[in-house]
Structure 1
């Protein structure tokens, strides 16, 4: 795609990039365009679903309290595999930091 030198890319969502002048290259302008396009933020999307922020301390507390893996996953809105990966990565079963 050919673009003007005076225009800069502004990501609207994971598939949409618009080219704007430097004065419009702001998060506020991007949010305005997202509302216009009925879109979501680019960093909120991953693959087919929405990206969810997982608090490691919350997962640690739930694991230590004895909650089942599938219940933790349901509460956090992620898959069981994701929860299991966090538990392994941060060694949450032993309550270590």
Structure 2
């Protein structure tokens, strides 16, 4: 291999790492933190909705509320979806960090 080929290969790798650093890391970091916080908030809202807190209700559209007993299953389902999003986004974030370090 000549020096030009090695330089182009290193330049392309560096450009990829810069793009990942500038765009992917902030997005994945915010998404990971947000999904973790929202999964906890979904559980708290489900419990408060079951207890009859006035500010929390399950409304499909104005004027039609779902029964309070459905707040736990729907809240748990939402919390599980958000937790799964947290786990997979954190895994992808770790892969991006490993790529940048290599």
TM-score where L is the length of structure 2? 0.29
Higher percent of residues as strand: 1
Higher percent of residues as helix: 2
